[in-house]
Amino acid sequence: MFTFETWQAFIDQRYGPTDQARGPAKTFLWLMEEVGELAEALARLERGEEVQALLSEEFADVLAWLTTLANITGIDLNAAVTSKYIEDGGPKGVK
């Protein structure tokens, strides 16, 4: 079963040393590149193209790079999401 904990551990085991060596600033740039690729896929969707497979890949890439950034900055994604969105009824206001 997928959990943030198992996902973060998987990413760390597979890419940890390389990610640590790259550091947060360069990792953030990689994340932004992947967000750009997701934006391009979403634009294609808006134009009516069939891009579900591409969107799936790009969402996965963004999640992987976001997880990498969390790992190398010491953020536990499960704790962060639980604290912000689950506990105490979640954030107030409109998203």
Domains of the chain: 25-76 (1.10.287.1080)
**Mean pLDDT across the chain:** 94
pLDDT digits (tens, 9 = 90+) for 9-62: 999 999 999 999 999 999 999 999 999 999 999 999 999 999 999 999 999 999
Better-predicted residue by pLDDT, 34 or 1: 34
**Distance in angstroms (rounded) separating the CA atoms of residues 47 and 44:** 5
The DSSP 8-state label assigned to residue 50 in this structure reads -
pLDDT score of 30: 97
User: Pick from 3, 35, 19: which is nearest to 69 by CA?
Assistant: 19
The pTM score is 0.90
pLDDT digits (tens, 9 = 90+) for 57-94: 999 999 999 999 999 999 999 999 999 988 878 777 77
